[in-house]
Amino acid sequence: MKRIFIALKIEPGDNLLRMMSSLKSLLGNERINWVDAANIHLTLAFLGDTDEEMIKVADLAVRQQCRGSGEFSFKLSGTGVFRNYRDPKVIWAGIEECPGLTRLNNLISTALSDAGFKLEERPFKPHITLGRIKFIKDSGALTSAVERYNNTFFQEVTVNEVILFESILKPSGPLYRPLGKFSLT
């Protein structure tokens, strides 16, 4: 069994890295597990603990949907929190509406569903996770820090491949190991 997910790898640019560094500094006294810059990604489907045979099925399903679906770009901008500021769980950077991303997500989700995978039922909200909140002492500081960037453009991201990752949980943080790469061209 391996813990797997399907994602787009994002190479953080200077603006995104500066914002992440600023948030870490502004919220340094809070209990937040920050995502390492090398692990920045946009999750398309989280499949969780999956046996080897089903990993092969996922690989084939995603590979077939990606082949020839075409490269596209999206804009990474804005910040926010999941759940809400009274009970925050995740700090995120947002993705501007992108038909290419929505189409790709629909293709992959349908293929995985048809292949027998149980996917999350909540609507697709494209974002990148910046930090997972364990405990907040000063919710005002959190609100102020995150809202500082809620209308900021960080970078444009060109997407030309989808990656099937294994997530290996370690005390120092997760290690993401690519199990398959699928070209969109």
Q: Any catalytic annotation for residue 41? A: yes
> What single-letter amino acid sits at 25?
S
pTM of the model: 0.94
CA distance 53 to 42: 25
For residues 73-80, give the mean pLDDT. Answer: 98
Q: Is the pLDDT of residue 95 over 90?
A: yes
Of 16, 41, 47, 184, catalytic: 41
Q: Tokens 């290690």: give the residue.
A: 175
Angle at 136 between CA 49 and CA 35, to 5 degrees: 45
H-helix or E-strand spanning residue 84: none
pLDDT at 56: 97
Short-list 91, 101, 102, CA closest to 149:
91
CATH of the domain at 168: 3.90.1140.10
For residues 145-171, give the mean pLDDT. Answer: 96
pLDDT at 121: 85
CA distance 168 to 139: 31
What DSSP assignment string belongs to 58-74? HHHHHHHHHTTS--EEE
Question: Do residues 162 and 8 make contact, with C-beta atoms less than 8 angstroms apart?
Answer: yes
CA distance 56 to 91: 33
18-34 pLDDT, tens digit each: 999 999 999 999 999 99
Which residues span the domain enclosing 111? 2-183
Q: Any catalytic annotation for residue 78? A: no
Percent above pLDDT 70 for the chain: 100
Handedness of CA 25, 30, 36, 42 (dihedral sign): negative
Of 5, 127, 133, 184, catalytic: 127
Sheet holding 2-9, edge to edge: 41-50, 2-9, 161-168, 175-183
Q: Is the pLDDT of residue 120 over 90?
A: no
User: What total of structural domains would you count in the chain?
Assistant: 1
